[in-house]
A and B are shown apart, each in its own frame.
Chain A
Amino acid sequence: MDITQIHKGLVKKEFSCVEITNNYLEKIKKSKLNAFICVTEEIAIENAIKTDANIAAGKRIGILDGIPMSLKDNISSRGIKTTCGSKMLENYEPIYDATAWELLKKNGVVLLGKNNQDEFAMGSSNESSYYGPVKNPHDLTKVPGGSSGGGAASVAGGLAVFAIGSDTGGSIRQPAAFCGTVGLKPSYGSVSRYGLIPLASSFDVIGPLTQNVRDAAIVFDAISVHDPKDSTSSRHRREKTAEHLEDDIIGIRISMPKNCLNDIDNSVASAIEESARIYERLGAKITYFDLPYLDYVMSIYYILQCAEVSSNLGRYDGIRFGYRPKEFDDTNDLMIKSRSEGFGAEVKRRILLGTYVLSSGFYDSYYKKAQKLREKLTNSIEEILSSIDLILMPTAPTTAFGFEHNAAPQEMYFADIFTVIANEIRAPAISIPCGKDKNGLPIGMQLMSLRFHEAKLLNVAHQFEQFSEKKFNIS
């Protein structure tokens, strides 16, 4: 059941909030997906009782009131462990709530627990979590994608109605594609980052993983608010995107980057081309272009992201919070041991790369050059988007891959090649299911628009979903 169906059921008293919450908690207990790091059973029941009491008292409840959901474990939740998938924060309990979480709480959601993720959100397969990998509900031998793999698996596996994730280079959209859910990465500045434990602050965004586009719009509308606690939170006027889902899309201009369809799985390329044909039938005008700087988007991303990582993760010193070793000689030794024992291999690699690209002698040729190219890329794509409405491309070059792989770190990074672009240019993008490969694994297509044009993005995604549901029977 999606958000609207549960809302209607609660209002009509077809079931109680406690009943459905218990149902989800039971499913989580029996699940083999390892999608949760912590299950907040008591809080969930407490929240559900409140919703039921409000309904019994005849109060009007909001659309998100009583909806059982889950939160990625890098989103601060007061008094509830927030580990970031790391040994470093195994016992860390934030003393404040992230703004996005605070807004959802005010809307009355029921928190089922905190979702597993790649350590500090660094990964595309959920294999770097200190708490073990998450499994893909469509095939337990396959990865769910990452880093919000726990959230995507929860939604696809029926363990939560929706999940809140974070996306720095594709961490909402790529697992959404691998698990067959919808994943929205909002514009940078649309949703407050306050309380999101940072990976790379100029890329990080909080967004929803949902069963369908309407749910994504409902959740996005609830969390997209200007926040004075985040200096990068935008003050632009926000439209209610859920009110625009049924807008007519006849004549909409969608462009496909031809060079994004080379060297990818045939099944993915065919599904994207078929999606374009569906849009044509829906009245869209399809054109083609070559995505500028495609050969460099990954290098730009990893240089800048790791530079920000090396700086952001400097806070983990074993003194104020986080892991601290039992034995150490002096303060320096305390810091070195805390970090060396508390961080996993992928985190260390990225800290070292970030330190390297920021170091004297390399700053200009790596960090500064990547900043300039990020700006060039942004200007080029914004120019393309000024004469069309949306860009359509694959979310990931492949479908979900198996756990047994020997890929080098930089080969793994390519799982994000099509998703990093939206983070680099700070634009919103959404992944929606558009088919399955021969093994029955979901394929995701990605739509991207100009910054802050979420209403149009969700509208066009919703119209496709309405049509394709009948065609592909995607659940």
Chain B
Amino acid sequence: MLNKDEILRLAKTSKLSLSGENLKKMIVDMGGIIEFVDKINSVSEGTDIDFVRNEHETLRKDVVKESFPQTEILKNSIKESDGYFMIRGHK
């Protein structure tokens, strides 16, 4: 079971904030989930295989092609200016 500090460290790495009841519930939930996935550590076999399948059939040639127009790409940003995503100035 992960303690509060360990959960908070994972949350910080994941850029998530947890506090109060949400944090308490997450500690309980994560404890149960980790116990559940920990089951694979009871399998002793499985370590004699190194190959992990490469699903990429063939990579396409690295040729520069026309992409989406900048105006389209910026469409879903909350704020943009002069072709840039705006962060500051949003307040």
Contacts and interface: CB of A to CB of B under 8 A. Distances in A.
Given A95-B68, A232-B57, A349-B29, A365 B41 contact: yes
A318 B68 CA distance: 20
A397 B51 CA distance: 32
Contacts of A295: 39
B57 A369 contact: no
A428 to B, nearest CB: 15
A354 to B, nearest CB: 8
A302 B46 CA distance: 17
A370 B60 CA distance: 29
B64 interface: no
Interface of A: 91-93, 95-96, 188-189, 202, 228, 231-235, 293, 295-296, 298-300, 302-303, 310, 317-322, 324, 326-328, 331-332, 334-337, 339-340, 343, 345, 348-349, 351-353, 355-357, 359, 365-366, 369-373, 375-376, 378, 408-410, 413, 426
A408 B58 CA distance: 42
B3 interface: no
Contacts of B1: none
B30 to A, nearest CB: 6
Contact of B33 (A189, A319, A339, A410): A410
Contact of A376 (B10, B30, B33, B45): B45
Contacts of A365: 41
Contacts of B32: 408-410
B91 A296 contact: no
B38 interface: yes
B60 A359 contact: no
Nearest to A337: B17
A340 B20 CA distance: 13
B40 A96 contact: no
B75 A324 contact: no
Interface in B27-47: 29-30, 32-41, 43, 45-47
Given A300-B40, A369-B46, A410-B36, A348 B57 contact: no
Given A228-B60, A355-B13, A410-B32, A376 B46 contact: yes
Contact of A340 (B16, B36, B57): B16
Contacts of B75: 93, 95
Most chain B CB within 10 A, of A233, A293, A310, A355, is at A355
A349 B59 contact: no
